C-alpha cells in the first residue's frame, strides 16, 4: 500500500524558514518523480514544485520566486521542501504527491501538513 | 502559462442525478488532462488521468471526456459521498496548473 506521510509544518513568522518532509513507503521511491501541491485557505489547489526520480531536475511554480527548494533522499525514501522567506500568502496545507511514471500528474497524495505564516 | 477555467464554480444536484463539470484551457493540452476530488479536511483524491482513464478504485459512474482545450467530468447516478470540490489539472506544460475548482453539493 502506497503511503505518503508529511511532517514539519507549523507556525512560523514572516521571513522565517521551514523544512517539510514526506516519508514514502509501499512503492519503489526512486522510480518516480515527486511533487508538492498546496491548498491555501479559501483557495484552490496550487502546484508548487516537482523533482525527477533521480533528483537531477526540479521545476518550481513561478510565483515562488525561488524561495522554495525541493529535494529528495532516495536512500531514505523521503521528499523535502525547504521554504525560505516565508510570507503570509504561503499559509496553506502542503501535500506531497506521487506522480505517474513520466507524467506530472498524481495518483497518490499524503494527508498534508499545515504551514501557518503569521506574527 | 496555461490557464484552466472550470464551470460552473458551484452546483447543487440530487441523489441519482447526473452532472457535468467543464474545464477549458487557454491552449491545447492534448491528452494531458486530469481530474481530482477533494472533500473538506481531506487530501485530494485522484479520479482521472489522460482525459478519460480512471485511476484504480474509482467508481465507473465517473467519466471524463473532451479534447484540445475543452474537457468534461460527468458523474452519473450521484451518490451522497460525491459531495466535494472537483479540480481539473493540465500537465502538458510547466507550470502545472489547476482549475479554480467546482463545488458540488448533493
Is pLDDT at B25 greater than 90 in this prediction?
yes
Closest CB to A105 among B49, B94, B100 = B49
Locate cell 478504485: which residue? B57
Nearest CA in chain A to B6: A44
Is A93 in contact with A39 (CB distance < 8 Å)?
yes
With contact defined as beta carbons under 8 Å apart, do A54 and A28 qualify?
no
Per-residue model confidence (pLDDT) at position A103: 86
Grid cell digits, residue A49: 514544485
Contacts of B14 (CB under 8 A, 6+ apart): B78, B106
pLDDT at position A101 over 90 = no
Binary contact (B44, A103; C-beta < 8 A): no
Partners of A93 in beta bridges: A39, A114
C-alpha span between B85 and B102 (Å, rounded): 5
Task: Give the model confidence (pLDDT) of B28-65 as tens digits.
Answer: 999 999 999 999 999 999 999 999 999 999 999 999 99
Residue B62, beta-bridge partner list: B75
Instruction: Give the three-state DSSP class for B82.
Output: helix
pLDDT band at A102 (very low <50, low <70, confident <90, very high): confident
The answer to whether A37 touches B95, Cβ cutoff 8 Å, is no
**If pLDDT is split at 50, 70 and 90, which confidence band does B82 have?**
very high
* Smallest CA–CA distance from B54 into chain A, residue: A107
Helix (H) or strand (E) holding B86: strand B84-90
Amino acid at each position: 500500500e502506497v503511503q505518503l506521510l508529511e511532517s514539519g509544518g507549523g507556525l512560523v513568522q514572516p521571513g522565517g524558514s521551514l523544512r517539510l518532509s514526506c516519508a514514502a513507503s509501499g512503492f519503489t521511491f526512486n522510480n518516480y518523480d515527486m511533487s508538492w501541491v498546496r491548498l491555501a485557505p479559501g483557495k484552490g489547489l496550487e502546484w508548487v514544485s516537482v523533482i525527477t526520480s533521480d533528483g537531477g531536475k526540479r521545476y518550481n511554480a513561478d510565483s515562488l520566486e525561488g524561495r522554495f527548494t525541493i529535494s529528495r533522499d532516495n536512500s531514505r525514501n523521503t521528499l523535502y521542501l525547504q521554504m525560505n522567506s516565508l510570507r503570509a500568502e504561503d499559509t496553506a496545507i502542503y501535500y506531497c504527491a506521487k506522480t505517474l511514471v513520466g507524467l506530472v500528474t498524481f495518483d497518490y497524495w499524503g494527508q498534508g501538513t499545515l504551514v501557518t505564516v503569521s506574527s | 502559462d496555461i490557464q484552466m477555467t472550470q464551470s460552473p464554480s458551484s452546483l447543487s444536484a440530487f441523489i441519482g442525478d447526473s452532472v457535468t463539470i467543464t474545464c477549458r484551457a487557454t491552449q491545447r493540452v492534448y491528452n494531458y488532462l486530469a481530474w481530482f476530488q477533494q472533500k473538506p479536511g481531506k487530501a485530494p483524491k485522484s479520479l482521472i488521468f489522460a482525459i478519460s482513464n480512471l485511476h484504480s478504485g474509482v467508481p465507473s459512474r465517473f467519466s471524463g471526456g473532451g479534447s484540445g482545450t475543452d474537457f468534461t467530468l460527468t458523474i452519473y447516478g450521484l451518490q451522497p459521498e460525491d459531495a466535494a470540490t472537483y479540480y481539473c489539472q493540465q500537465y502538458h506544460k510547466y507550470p502545472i496548473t489547476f482549475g479554480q475548482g467546482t463545488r458540488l453539493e448533493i
